[in-house]
Structure 1
């Protein structure tokens, strides 16, 4: 009897703890996307990286799935950290970041999430429709890694191609 009560109490405490921990939203509707991008470009220049803009919203299950993949898959996480400064640009009814997206060539035309790669000078070098990275009910780790590799600073270094 005591074991059952303690077991039930333990389950109750785990559930209570899970509900008590409020998760910070991935996309912040009140963030200043222009400033966040400028800060990321500044860091990217110093660290010889590119900037990856993950554009979407907390309402977008595919956006959240992508983020879950790249933060929990060790290979993707390490590659991102080594080659990119990442900015989550919000698109929601609260803040569509229309001016920023206009400056980026209207990437929302591809749906969400959509990814924009900037070089270390802040120049847009690629817009990626995430549908090409999907597999089943998520994104393919292999396809995502290939995308990240193909637009990394190393891949675009002219010295790699000149003999």
Structure 2
């Protein structure tokens, strides 16, 4: 099979584009410093109550590759519609384990077990679920169907 120079050039640009897009995942801060997580959670609870949704607290940090993978997956066509329909998402920065410690304690998030970590909170502020053993931390190895399955289970919590 002969590949023309045009096809080879097109493949090259597709490969470069794919690499650039995957790199953007790491270059985009999803846990910016200085954000008042408590204020964001309060606002999310108001929104969740008005929209009859749960609040999904995603504890993580920008240094965490799997945190970026999870955020990227949350924006995929397989996951985003379900996520938007059922949850208000708040990213809670843990820094290197020293930031928002009070929130990780309040929502029973053992960050030493790995991040990202998840807490599911009802619109009234009740903790419904939190990851305890790093269940979501190996996000890069999880198929979209597994993430959707977890989200479905969490959305059904009362």
Alignment TM class, shorter chain as reference: 0.7 to 0.9
5+ residue gaps, structure 1, are 1-10, 158-163
Aligned partner of 1:30 in structure 2 is 34
5+ residue gaps, structure 2, are 1-12
- Deviation above 4 Å: which 4+ runs of structure 1? 133-136
What is the aligned-residue RMSD (CA, Å)? 2.8
Residue number among 75, 80, 98 corresponding to 2:78 in the alignment: 75
1:78-111 Cα deviation digits (max 9, x unpaired): 0000000000100114961112212112431431
Aligned partner of 1:138 in structure 2 is 141
Distance 1:130 1:29, change over 3 A: farther
Q: Does 1:149 align with 2:149?
A: no
Residue number among 40, 43, 54 corresponding to 1:39 in the alignment: 43
Residues 10-21 of structure 1 mapped to structure 2, 5 A cutoff: none
Separation of aligned partners in 2, 1:146 and 1:101: 24
Q: Given that residues 116 and 137 in structure 2 are in contact (C-alpha distance below 8 angstroms), is that contact kept between their aligned partners in structure 1?
A: no
Distance 1:135 1:96, change over 3 A: closer
Q: Given that residues 115 and 130 in structure 1 are in contact (C-alpha distance below 8 angstroms), is that contact kept between their aligned partners in structure 2?
A: no
> If the length of structure 1 is used for normalisation, what is the TM-score?
0.73
Q: What is the count of residue pairs matched by the alignment?
A: 138
Separation of aligned partners in 2, 1:136 and 1:104: 21
Q: Given that residues 114 and 128 in structure 1 are in contact (C-alpha distance below 8 angstroms), is that contact kept between their aligned partners in structure 2?
A: yes
Separation of aligned partners in 1, 2:104 and 2:128: 14
Distance 1:129 1:145, change over 3 A: farther
Residue number among 55, 63, 73 corresponding to 1:59 in the alignment: 63
Q: Does 1:96 align with 2:99?
A: yes
Structure with greater Cα Rg:
1
Distance 1:104 1:134, change over 3 A: closer
Separation of aligned partners in 2, 1:86 and 1:150: 16
> If the length of structure 2 is used for normalisation, what is the TM-score?
0.75
